[in-house]
Structure formats: C-alpha cells, structure tokens
C-alpha cells in the first residue's frame, strides 16, 4: 500500500539504500550540504540515536559544531580497520577531508597509517595512498608511531630498499610495478615475489632518507613508504627470481 499523503517515512524504510535516505533527508531539511560526505555523518548519527523519522532529524537543527561533536564521537580507527580489505581505503578516501577538518592532522594520519599497515597489499591503491598522504601538510613524523620514528632516525642517510612482485606476462612495462610499499628486509621482498602471481622479480633501490614518507615496523614488516612517482626507474635494479 502506498504511503498516505504527508505521512512521515521511517528511517528503517531507507536503511538498505543510503542514497535514497540522503535524498529524503535533504528534501526534509530543505538545505544543501556544504560539508563533504555529510551523508555518512547523518547516517551514523541516525543509527546511534535510533532516530525514527525525518522530522526528528530536522529538529536536531545541526550546525557546524553539532556535526563536529557527532564526528568526534565515532571510533574511526576501529570503524575503518573492521571493513573488508577492498573497502578500507575507499571508504576512508570518501571521508578524508572531513576527518582532517574535524579530527585534526595527527588523528587523520594515525587512521591512514593504521589502514595502510593492516592491508595485505596497497598496490591497487598506490595513487590513492599518495593523494591521501598529500592531503595536508604532511611530515614523516605524522604517519609513524614513536618507536618507528626513533628507529627511522637511526637509519643512515642512504640505504637499500626492496620490493618483490609477480610480473604478469600481459603487462610488458616493468616500471608499472613500482609502488609506495618497499621493505628493508630482502627475504620478505623475495617471499612476496615468489608468492605473487606471475614471474617473480625483485626491485632494489638506493633511497635517500629524505625521500621516505614513512617507516612502519609495528607488525614486523620493516616497510618503507615511498613516493614511487619520484623514483627514476634507471636507478632501480631488477633481479628475476624465477
């Protein structure tokens, strides 16, 4: 049966379709959302408050400070880490500017670092990772934990990093396999290459300390994060392991 005229629709009717809910909310609030990804913040608040009608949303009379409070009430690290592998960076990217604005630089980079270090691979997201790192005024200290930063300072001014990949026969440009994720551990790189699909190859690169975006050791991976777009491929050694 179709709803009666002027009958308020329940949020439950839209729970499975966030886009439809957002359209209904914007219509009810009669305003244009000037803050990016407002849809997601609105949905979080609806779920937390168990608001049952659009009228109740209207009565909240949200302003910038209300949104900031609602935003800060969410454990964003736990939220993103709990998402499926392919959704972590995608969902974070959707909310990146709001997180930076409402939660600040340090927490923004803390979330991003936790996402990067808990993903099995970031190769498919390498351009997104660079864009997210460069969103704010990033420095090396923002992505690293205190212990990692201390170990990073102990590294020499130049050192060798490794990257192991599987070379797909259908892709002839080896340079395309450069990415943000490298390691100090030669054996880890070799293992990763041999476990990958395709011909296993090893990249070796002599990196200057100033080039490093971050050093992650929290899970024993000894990962070095680099801006691969700044790497001169002529300076990269290639070893075929297969």
pLDDT at 216 over 60: yes
Top pLDDT among 86 and 6 is at 86
pLDDT at 59 over 70: no
Percentage of residues in the chain with pLDDT exceeding 90?
A: 41
DSSP secondary structure letter of residue 105: H
DSSP secondary structure letter of residue 159: E
Angle between helices 18-29 and 38-49 (to 10 degrees): 90
Could you give the CA distance from residue 211 to residue 183 in angstroms, rounded to a whole number?
Answer: 14
What's the confidence (pLDDT) of residue 6?
Answer: 41
What's the confidence (pLDDT) of residue 2?
Answer: 40
pLDDT at 17 over 80: no
What's the confidence (pLDDT) of residue 98?
Answer: 81
What's the confidence (pLDDT) of residue 140?
Answer: 73
What's the confidence (pLDDT) of residue 16?
Answer: 43
Percentage of residues in the chain with pLDDT exceeding 70?
A: 69
Could you give the CA distance from residue 117 to residue 185 in angstroms, rounded to a whole number?
Answer: 16
Over residues 99-123, the mean pLDDT reads 89
Over residues 16-33, the mean pLDDT reads 49
Global pTM value: 0.72
Could you give the CA distance from residue 203 to residue 142 in angstroms, rounded to a whole number?
Answer: 27
Q: Tokens at residue 173, please?
A: 């440009």
Over residues 76-98, the mean pLDDT reads 87
What's the confidence (pLDDT) of residue 31?
Answer: 38
Which of 201, 150, 159, 164 lies closest to 184, judged by CA?
Answer: 159
What's the confidence (pLDDT) of residue 1?
Answer: 41
What's the confidence (pLDDT) of residue 123?
Answer: 82
What's the confidence (pLDDT) of residue 231?
Answer: 95
């Amino acid at each position: 049966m179709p709803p009666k005229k002027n009958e308020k629709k329940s949020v439950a009717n839209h729970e499975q379709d966030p886009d439809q809910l957002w359209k209904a909310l914007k219509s009810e609030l009669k305003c244009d959302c000037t803050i990016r990804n407002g849809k997601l913040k609105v949905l979080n608040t609806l779920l937390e408050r168990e608001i049952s009608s659009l009228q109740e949303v209207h009565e909240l009379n949200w302003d910038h400070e209300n949104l900031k409070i609602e935003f800060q009430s969410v454990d964003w690290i736990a939220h993103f880490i709990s998402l499926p592998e392919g959704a972590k960076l995608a969902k974070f990217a959707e909310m990146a500017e709001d997180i930076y604005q409402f939660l600040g630089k340090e927490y923004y980079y803390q979330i991003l670092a936790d996402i990067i270090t808990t993903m099995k691979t970031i190769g498919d997201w390498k351009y997104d990772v660079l864009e997210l790192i460069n969103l704010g005024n990033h420095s090396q200290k923002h992505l690293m934990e205190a212990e990692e930063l201390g170990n990073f300072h102990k590294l020499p001014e130049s050192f060798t990093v490794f990257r192991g990949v599987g070379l797909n026969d259908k892709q002839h440009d080896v340079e395309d396999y450069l990415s943000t994720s490298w390691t100090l551990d030669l054996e880890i790189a070799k293992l990763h290459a041999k476990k990958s699909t395709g011909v296993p190859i090893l990249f070796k690169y002599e990196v200057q300390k100033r080039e490093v975006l971050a050093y992650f050791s929290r899970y024993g991976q000894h990962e070095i994060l680099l801006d691969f777009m700044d790497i001169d491929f002529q300076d990269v050694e290639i070893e075929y392991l297969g």
